[in-house]
Amino acid sequence: MTAAAAQAPAGHPPKPRAHPAGVHATARLRATHNGRATTLPLLHSDGPFHLRRLRPRGERARVCVLGAMSAPLGGDRLALDITAEAHTRLEVTTSAATIALRGSTTDPATYDVRLTVGEHASLNWLPQPLISARGSTLHQTYEVDLAGTSRLLLREEQLLGRTAEPSGHLSTRLTVRRDGRPVLDQHTVYGAPAPAWDGPAVLGGHRATGQLLLVDPEPVPLPEPVLLGDPERGHCVLAPLADGTALLATAVAPTPTRLRDLLDTALARVSDAAASPTRTSSASTGPVRRTGSSDE
């Protein structure tokens, strides 16, 4: 007889042991350079995350994160840990949009992405949009640690509610450091219970929002912020950060397609600036292309 059964009153089955709600999972990816090419010695899938190698593009290794189950649901604790070691070229994307759902509990879900980029390395993090469905609560964080000579291209897009439904509660925080010094620390909250998130001071009634961040070892000439688009069809602001080696494009739009168009247009502006003859070229970086990825 088990201890649990011995302690149960006569005629009553033992109570099942309590388990924490939700899935707890951490997927890990590590890229290294063997002197000739970028290799992927660690692809650790876990929980809803299945990591799959894609065909390299030039010198850049590529990985896709596939969803093996519906996630994140209420109570889930999910994390992605991605490391691009020195001299690597890596691009990571996702196979489909991530949908935050309520699930069987009202507990919030967490989704933490940790990106580490070594000296003279380049990382493109280009996932598909995150959809905040009605009734869901998701806290998402990005922790990005860059070496002084590394390069980062990061895109994040959110759709606040599916078709004809209100948004769930979405909290996102993006923290980027280079050589331990802060480049960007941004925290945004959308959806219930705060009613003013879609007002004219925030999204102006639009339901798609996102940003594109480029951090480069060398300054990219952009003397002042650039405004793209229009209020009705969505607009985007491209502005320099820190010492001019970081550029941030922030956009809002009525649809995900229009949002992607705006971010691609901002990326093309960055490409034009990077290709300017006044900018000294660097062997560790290459031109940014409009397609949403860069190849060396």
Residues 115-139, buried b or exposed e (16+ Cβ, 10 A)? bbbbebbbbbbbbbbbbbbebbbbb
Q: How far apart are CA 273 and CA 286, in angstroms?
A: 12
Strand (E) or helix (H) holding 241: strand 234-241
Percent of the chain with pLDDT over 70: 81
Is the Cβ–Cβ distance between 280 and 218 less than 8 Å? yes
Q: Which amino acid is at 240?
A: P
Q: What is the mean pLDDT of residues 141-151?
A: 97
Inform me whether the pLDDT recorded for 145 exceeds 70.
yes
| Per-residue pLDDT at 13 | 47
| Per-residue pLDDT at 164 | 80
* Dihedral over Cα of 270, 275, 279, 284: its sign: positive
Q: What is the mean pLDDT of residues 159-177?
A: 92
- Of 131, 140, 144, 29, nearest to 78 (Cα)? 140
Phi-psi map region of 278: left, alpha, beta (phi>0 left; psi -120 to 50 alpha): alpha
Inform me whether the pLDDT recorded for 24 exceeds 90.
yes
Q: What burial class does residue 277 get, using C-beta atoms within 10 Å of its C-beta: 0-12 exposed, 13-18 middle, 19+ buried?
A: exposed
| Per-residue pLDDT at 117 | 98
| Per-residue pLDDT at 275 | 63
Q: What is the biggest distance separating any 2 CA atoms in the chain, rounded to whole angstroms?
A: 85
Q: What is the mean pLDDT of residues 58-80?
A: 92
User: pLDDT category, 47, cuts 50, 70, 90?
Assistant: very high
User: pLDDT category, 245, cuts 50, 70, 90?
Assistant: confident
Tell me the pLDDT tens digit for each residue of 97-139.
Answer: 999 998 888 889 999 999 999 999 999 999 999 999 999 999 9
User: pLDDT category, 293, cuts 50, 70, 90?
Assistant: very low
For the chain, give the number of residues. Answer: 296
Inform me whether the pLDDT recorded for 203 exceeds 70.
yes
Q: Which amino acid is at 255?
A: T
C-alpha triplet 273, 277, 278: angle, nearest 5°: 80
Inform me whether the pLDDT recorded for 285 exceeds 60.
no
User: pLDDT category, 201, cuts 50, 70, 90?
Assistant: low
Is the Cβ–Cβ distance between 100 and 109 less than 8 Å? yes
